[in-house]
């Protein structure tokens, strides 16, 4: 007899639906699996037979053929255990033929018949919902994640037996047996809002850096923090997600999809509602950062999608590893091409990098820093120019003084919530300005856009050309300053870019002349 | 080639000979009368060389090729040479302990009659050191005083650049051969010194600037000067070698005072405690040069613009249209007009670079806090008006 069960898998970040077709025929007993399945997928056959036996179901000795359709897609790292078991039971007459109609089934089996969680629940369920499927039987541990997809009846099962009982029951009895899992998305988002214990008001002093962080968040500019060790650079970076606008539902689904594919969603997780904060150690390998590997997996830059990628000790990263960030920073996604597959992972992150100003960390305090200029230059030279070109804000985190730490400084009470309100207001202005264009934030502006959106008055133009002369700016610095000045003006609620906005932007510029080419003469 | 040139060429042969130091060379010359004779009797001269390895090297050198060819080559390359037996050997060096046997140079040697000040200090100097080195260089150069130094990064190079900027002369003592520009980043200074002064070395042409050559080089820096000025130096540093040499050679030592908390001024303050002269401006050095009375023909330009420590702006003579030597390189601009915010921001600055937060808290402490955006705007304006400057994201007040 023949049976077909609808299931699904993920490849890269995209999901696909497949039919698990099972045919049980008379003949010499055998078990054949076809349909472009990789070795690990074929293992499902052995697992299912034992699991069925241990769950008390008898598979008669027959000639069993399994096909995973469409056969054009390579099935790799896909669990077809549960659909295969259901299909077998259908094909051998244990289950009624029509009970699996229009039902998506996926899950992994243990030998004892336990149903175990799989990765990629969210994209698979979403794909099925698009295809008009309304019921989904899946591992109980994945139920909350699947429930994020609206219009789908989510049935989480713990054992093979539960699944069989459920399917055997009539449509009216089913909900009584296993109530469908539902989640209140509003509640989920609200919980994500309040769960952050790190707040900007924890940081004493560092007023310049805090302001730079706010500007970075408002315009989605990449940020470089330079300062001696122990000045709270990582503290500030960790608090960045807290001042970025909350994830919208669409963004949240994007991020959750990546985490789901990477197998990072726990049984309690529905959606990722907090902006990710990813902080890889500087020994990170190229594949771990960008993703890939023998079978595709999202890398850290994709896990930082819509959130913050924090690279502490930037010059310690391998230059080749850092250079891999160039394409993602430009395209906001990373395409990975290997011999066997081709996939694209989103990677729209805000880069926050931190570094010491010199190998010892105390430059330009010449009383403590004894690094020779060529040493400093070599240290800074480890970061390639193209990466630095994409970082709009460069700010120094100076040593913290004792009065700052003891909390007597009056300005340490700016909370993350207060900063976020200002960021949101600035984002609102940008949204309005960029309606109908592909731009989202000021940081996305290309030179042509800058010309259009950053018109200057005569006084401002004069100031900018004055800056060019006195500070020796490059053409790149010109665009960076204007982009940044636009954001600062937006934060100020000012339609026009004024002199003070340009001046402030100039203060955050990368000090091309002194930092990156060795100190000039006085 | 005339007789004098031949003599010089053979002396250069002896000067470049491996394993021959000044004492050996002078002994050989005393024994055989001239360098040419030494060359002819190279084999018998071997007895004056103490170590077998050196003897081997000397022998191989003596037997290789035309002895005068290398002198001709350096002449063609524009390099001059003198040695102790020759009359144009600098008199000042004859008096120092362990004078060099020979000198090579491109450009000129410093005029023995005219006053010379050596300006030395740390390579990794502070902003204060940078400013002061350049300022002393400029003032000395403008006064017609030769500035002697080692062309290193930091104080040395800055002082020499300053002297050239003011239209003065400057001389660099190199550790390696004179054809070897070290450090490479001072290439443009090296070229300028060839034009407006000289680069001098006691090493044979083509010698690498080896580490061990630098301490010996320092004795020549002090040897060529009348006064040694130390701008910034740590307690123990290469500069202290130069100071020791200068004292041994009977040169006056002046030091630029600094704050006691600054590690880079520790060496200078120590020198002052031990009796070094205090240099607050070039005039302090010039007074000392005048009272020397050793050289009645000395010319020191007077009436030049001197930095006044109490007041940043100057009220000296206006620039002449064609720019006379003493006003060359001097800027005579009226003090720029500052807005009230800029005035306030300026009070938060110092000669030492300060970060934005430090400036903000300094202003807070003064009771005149400025909002960060306003402070940033004022600082950028101050930089554009050339009253302040910025380095590595830190701001400082410009002293000049």
**Could you say which of B331, B362, B385 is where a domain stops?**
B331
Domain parsing of chain A, residue ranges:
2-183, 190-415, 445-522
Residue of A nearest to B235 (CA): A367
Q: Which chain B residue has the Cα nearest residue A519?
A: B391
For residue range B166-223, what is the model confidence (pLDDT) as tens digits? 999 999 999 999 999 999 989 999 999 999 999 999 999 999 999 999 999 999 999 9
Least CA distance to A465: which residue of chain B? Answer: B384
Please check whether residues B29 and B61 belong to one and the same domain: yes
Return the CATH number of the domain spanning residue range A2-183. Answer: 3.30.230.10
Same domain, B26 and B164: no
pTM of the model as a whole: 0.80
CATH class, domain A190-415, is alpha beta
Q: B349: domain CATH number?
A: 1.10.10.10
Q: Which of B313, B331, B349 is the last residue of a domain?
A: B331
Strands A350-355 and A223-226 come out as: parallel
Q: Determine contact, residues B370/B378, Cβ cutoff 8 Å.
A: yes
- 8 Å CB contact between A107 and A82: yes
Domain boundary among B50, B72, B94: B72
Q: Smallest Cα–Cα separation from B108: which of B221, B204, B193, B4? A: B193
Pick the residue from chain B with its C-alpha nearest to A491: B373
Structural domain of B374: 340-397
Residues B162, B67: one domain? no
User: Which of A231, A366, A459 has the most B C-beta neighbours within 10 Å, making it the best mutation to test the interface with B?
Assistant: A366
pLDDT for the residue B273: 93
Are residues B288 and B363 part of one domain? no
More confident residue, A76 or A422: A422
Q: In this structure, are B253 and B206 located in the same domain?
A: yes
Distance CA B228, CA B240 (A): 11
pLDDT number for residue A408 = 52
Handedness of CA B386, B391, B395, B399 (dihedral sign): negative
How many angstroms separate the CA atoms of A405 and B353, rounded? 22
Domain of B29: which CATH number? 1.10.150
> Is the ipTM value over 0.90, yes or no?
no
Could you give the CA distance from residue A82 to residue A86 in angstroms, rounded to a whole number? 6
Beta-carbon contacts of B82 under 8 Å, excluding residues fewer than 6 positions away, are B8, B88, B89, B90, B102, B103, B109
Reported confidence tier of residue A410, pLDDT bands at 50, 70, 90:
low
Distance from CA of B239 to the nearest CA of A (A): 15
Give the span between the Cα atoms of B25 and B11, in whole angstroms. Answer: 9
A-chain CB neighbours of B134 within 8 Å are 521-522
Predicted confidence band at A521 (pLDDT cuts at 50, 70, 90)? very low
Supply the pLDDT for residue B81: 95
Question: Quick check: A213 and A223 in contact, CB under 8 A?
Answer: yes
Determine, for residues A398 and B355 on separate chains, whether the beta-carbon distance falls below 8 Å: yes
The verdict on a CB contact (< 8 Å) between B372 and A500 is: no
Contact A467 B389 (CB under 8 A): no
**Using one digit for the tens of pLDDT, what is the confidence trace for A437-467?**
988 899 989 889 999 999 899 999 998 888 8
How many domains, in total, are found in chain B?
Answer: 3
CATH code at position B279 = 3.40.50.450
**Residue A209 above 80 pLDDT?**
yes
Q: State whether B282 and B368 are in the same domain.
A: no
Whether the CB-CB separation of A275 and A241 falls below 8 Å is answered with yes
Quick check: A307 and A241 in contact, CB under 8 A?
yes
- A124-133, A276-285, B346-355: segment of lowest average pLDDT: B346-355
Q: Who wins on pLDDT, B11 or A518?
A: B11
Chain A residues 485-504 within an 8 A CB cutoff of chain B: 488, 499-500, 503-504
Poorest-pLDDT segment among A207-216, A224-233, B304-313: B304-313
Å from A311 to nearest chain B CA?
A: 20
Same domain, B210 and B90: yes
CATH architecture of residue range(s) A445-522: Orthogonal Bundle (1.10)
Same domain for B271 and B142 = yes
- Is the same domain home to B143 and B204? yes
Residues B52 and B177 in one domain: no
Does residue B208 sit in the same domain as residue B114? yes
Range name among A361-375, B34-48, B73-87, B348-362 with the lowest pLDDT average: A361-375
Residues B93 and B64 in one domain: no
């Amino acid at each position: 007899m023949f049976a077909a069960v609808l299931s699904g898998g993920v490849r890269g970040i995209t999901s696909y639906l497949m039919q698990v077709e099972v045919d049980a025929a008379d003949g010499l007993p055998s078990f054949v699996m076809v349909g472009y399945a990789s070795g690990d997928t074929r293992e499902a056959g052995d697992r299912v037979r034992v699991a069925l036996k241990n769950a008390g179901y008898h598979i008669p000795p027959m000639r069993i053929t399994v096909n995973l359709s469409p056969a054009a897609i390579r099935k790799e790292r896909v669990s077809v255990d549960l659909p295969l078991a259901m299909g077998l039971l259908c094909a051998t007459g244990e289950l009624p033929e029509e009970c699996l109609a229009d039902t998506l089934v996926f899950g992994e089996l243990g030998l004892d018949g336990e149903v175990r969680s799989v990765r990629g629940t969210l994209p698979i369920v979403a794909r099925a919902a698009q295809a008009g499927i309304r019921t989904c039987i899946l591992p109980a541990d994945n139920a909350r994640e699947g429930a994020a997809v609206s219009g789908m009846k989510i049935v989480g099962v713990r054992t093979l037996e539960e699944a069989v009982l459920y399917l055997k029951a009539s449509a009216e009895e089913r909900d009584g047996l296993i109530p469908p899992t539902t989640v209140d998305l509003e509640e989920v988002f609200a919980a994500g809002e309040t769960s952050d214990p790190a707040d900007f008001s924890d940081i004493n002093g560092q007023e310049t850096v805090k302001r730079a962080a706010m500007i970075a968040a408002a315009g989605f500019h990449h940020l470089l923090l330079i300062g001696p060790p122990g000045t709270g650079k990582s503290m500030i970076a960790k608090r960045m997600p807290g001042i970025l606008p909350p994830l919208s539902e669409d963004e949240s689904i994007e991020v959750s999809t990546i985490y789901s594919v990477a197998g990072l969603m726990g049984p309690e997780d529905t959606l990722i509602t907090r902006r990710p904060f990813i902080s890889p150690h500087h020994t990170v390998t190229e594949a771990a950062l960008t993703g890939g590997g023998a079978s595709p997996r999202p890398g850290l830059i994709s896990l930082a999608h819509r959130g913050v990628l924090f690279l502490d000790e930037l010059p310690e990263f391998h230059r080749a590893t850092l250079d891999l960030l160039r394409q993602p920073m430009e395209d906001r996604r990373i395409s990975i091409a290997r011999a066997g597959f081709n996939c694209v992972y989103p990677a729209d992150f805000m880069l926050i990098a931190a570094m010491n100003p010199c190998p010892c960390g105390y430059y330009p305090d010449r009383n403590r820093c004894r690094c020779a200029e060529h040493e400093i230059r070599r240290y800074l030279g480890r970061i390639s120019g193209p990466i630095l070109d994409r970082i709009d804000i460069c700010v120094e985190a100076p040593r913290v003084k004792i009065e700052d730490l003891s909390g007597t400084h009056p300005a340490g009470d700016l909370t993350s919530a207060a900063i976020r309100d200002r960021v949101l207001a600035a984002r609102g202005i940008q949204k309005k300005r960029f309606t109908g264009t592909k731009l989202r934030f000021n940081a996305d502006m290309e030179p042509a856009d800058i010309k259009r959106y950053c018109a200057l008055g005569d006084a401002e133009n004069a100031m900018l050309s004055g800056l060019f002369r006195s500070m020796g700016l490059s053409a790149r610095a010109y665009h960076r300053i204007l982009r940044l000045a636009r954001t600062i003006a937006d934060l100020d609620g000012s339609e026009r870019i004024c002199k003070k906005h340009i001046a402030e932007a100039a203060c955050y510029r990368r000090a091309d002349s002194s930092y990156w080419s060795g100190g000039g003469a006085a | 080639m005339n007789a004098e040139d031949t003599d010089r060429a053979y002396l250069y042969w002896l000067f470049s000979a491996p394993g021959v130091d000044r004492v050996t060379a002078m002994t050989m010359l005393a024994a055989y009368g001239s360098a040419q004779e030494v060359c002819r009797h190279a084999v018998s001269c071997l007895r004056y060389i103490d170590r077998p390895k050196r003897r081997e090297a000397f022998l191989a050198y003596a037997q290789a090729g035309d002895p005068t060819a290398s002198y001709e080559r350096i002449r063609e390359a524009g390099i001059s040479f003198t040695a102790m037996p020759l009359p144009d050997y600098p008199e000042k060096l004859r008096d120092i302990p362990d004078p060099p046997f020979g000198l090579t140079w491109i450009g000129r040697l410093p005029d023995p009659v005219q006053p010379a000040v050596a300006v030395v200090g740390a390579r990794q100097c502070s902003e204060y050191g940078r400013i002061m080195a350049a300022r002393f260089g400029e003032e000395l150069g403008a006064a017609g005083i030769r500035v002697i130094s080692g062309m290193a990064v930091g104080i040395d190079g800055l002082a020499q650049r300053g002297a050239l900027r003011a239209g003065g002369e400057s001389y660099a003592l190199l550790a390696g051969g004179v054809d070897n520009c070290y450090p490479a980043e001072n290439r443009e200074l090296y070229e300028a010194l060839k034009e407006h002064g000289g680069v001098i070395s006691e090493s044979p042409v083509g010698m690498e600037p080896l580490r061990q050559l630098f301490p010996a080089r320092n004795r020549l820096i002090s040897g060529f000067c009348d006064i040694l000025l130390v701008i910034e130096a740590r307690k123990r540093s290469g500069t202290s070698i130069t100071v020791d040499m200068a004292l041994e050679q009977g040169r006056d030592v002046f030091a630029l005072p600094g704050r006691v908390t600054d590690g880079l001024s520790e060496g200078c303050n120590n020198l002052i405690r031990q009796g070094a002269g205090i240099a607050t401006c070039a005039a302090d050095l010039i007074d000392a040069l005048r009272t020397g009375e050793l050289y009645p023909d000395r010319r020191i330009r007077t009436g030049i613009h001197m930095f006044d420590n109490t007041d940043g702006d100057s009220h000296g003579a206006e620039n002449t249209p064609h720019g006379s030597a003493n006003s060359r390189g001097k800027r005579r601009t009226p003090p720029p007009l500052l807005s009230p915010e800029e005035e306030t921001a300026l009070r938060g600055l110092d000669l030492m670079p300060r970060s934005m937060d430090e400036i903000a808290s300094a202003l807070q402490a003064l009771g005149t806090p400025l909002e960060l955006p306003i402070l940033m705007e004022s600082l950028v304006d101050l930089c554009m008006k050339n009253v302040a400057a910025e380095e590595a994201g830190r701001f400082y007040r410009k002293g000049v």
